[in-house]
Amino acid sequence: MRRCIVLMAMLICGLLGGAAIAQAQSAARIWRIGFLGMDSSLQGPRLAALVQGLRELGYTEGRNIVLEQRWAEGDFALLPKLAAELVAVPVDVIVTAAPPAVKAAMGATTRIPIVMIVHEPVSSGVAVSLARPGKNVTGIAFQDTDLSIKRLELLRQAVPTLTRVAIVWNATGTDARIAHSVADTAKAMGMQALTFEVHNTSDLSDVIASAKTLGAQGVVQLAAPFITRNRALLIEALARNGLPATCELRMYVAEGCLMTYSANIDAMFRREAAYVDRILRGANPAELAIEQPREFELIINLKTAQALGLTIPPMLRFQANEVIQ
């Protein structure tokens, strides 16, 4: 009897010990998170927001995660090769943002989950629907058509005499349908719309000069990584031609664009961390609903307004989340 009790005790200890070892092994697992970046000068600060979000969820680099970074540095043709490198590592999940990078990641793998920030994912074919993406991709998506139309409306408030507006876009970040939708909205508001697609850096100066020559009184810049990377050329051209503009992101306004209405990019990158966490815990990305941004910001550069001879209406200033003096 005593031998049976001893044997049973040894068996229980063995089982408990095995469970403890298994738990320790599970806890000690190091996850590999791939980050496919467009441009480190632009997305580097955003990556810091993602890392902060992961840290808040208990993931620390060097302890339970390894961050594999690949950067195209503006050469978007490199994205498929860089995505393939992450797949070959292999990583457990790929995090990325912007249409060219998302599509490169999708082209490299249908197996590894991809957490993205992108606009218009359904119309662009990235997802079947927002509620059920249906593929290996999920994350956060903003409707750039709606945001661009809102920017146009706010520009009209800032420049009440606006009757002719230029719409500037680039195919790496914007579908032509978005440009057409904004142009149609401008016409519905009683304005004439001039649409310009930029293909290279010289276009950024040329199209603004052409818009001015054709009588444009303001500019709406649509989302595009190419333009963001070369935004200094756009902002210089706007100032040289005396044209007020509403631009895609806060960084444009900080550097001289008149205004923006945009989703909070840092908040979206922090939110990506929650998707990574759920996927690492076993969630299927095909069944994780794509979220809409939760935080938006209206930012106005008063210094630019003064240089253009504009007086920003008090109500518009009151609505602004930030006014740059």
Q: What is the pLDDT of residue 169?
A: 92
6-53 per-position pLDDT tens digit: 444 444 445 444 444 434 434 568 999 999 999 888 888 889 999 999
Share of the chain above pLDDT 70, in %: 91
Same domain, 254 and 164: yes
Same domain, 129 and 149: no
Give me 152's structure tokens.
């146009």
Q: What is the pLDDT of residue 11?
A: 43
Q: Is residue 2 part of a domain?
A: no
Higher-pLDDT residue of 11 and 250 is: 250
Q: Is residue 25 part of a domain?
A: no
CATH number of residue 139's parent domain: 3.40.50.2300
Same domain, 125 and 96: yes
Q: Is residue 78 part of a domain?
A: yes
Same domain, 139 and 282: yes
Same domain, 177 and 310: yes
Instruction: Report the alpha-carbon distance of residue 121 to residue 96 in Å, rounded.
Output: 14
Same domain, 61 and 151: no
Task: Of 19-23, 121-125, 161-165, give the lowest mean pLDDT range.
Answer: 19-23
Q: Is residue 69 part of a domain?
A: yes
pLDDT higher than threshold 80 for residue 3: no
Mean pLDDT of the chain: 89
pLDDT higher than threshold 90 for residue 142: no
Instruction: Report the alpha-carbon distance of residue 324 to residue 303 in Å, rounded.
Output: 7
Comparing CA positions, the residue from 113, 145, 97 lying closest to residue 271 is: 97
Look up the domain containing 169 and give its range: 144-263+297-324
Overall number of domains in the chain: 2
Same domain, 302 and 213: yes
| Residues ≥6 apart with Cβ < 8 Å to 11 | none
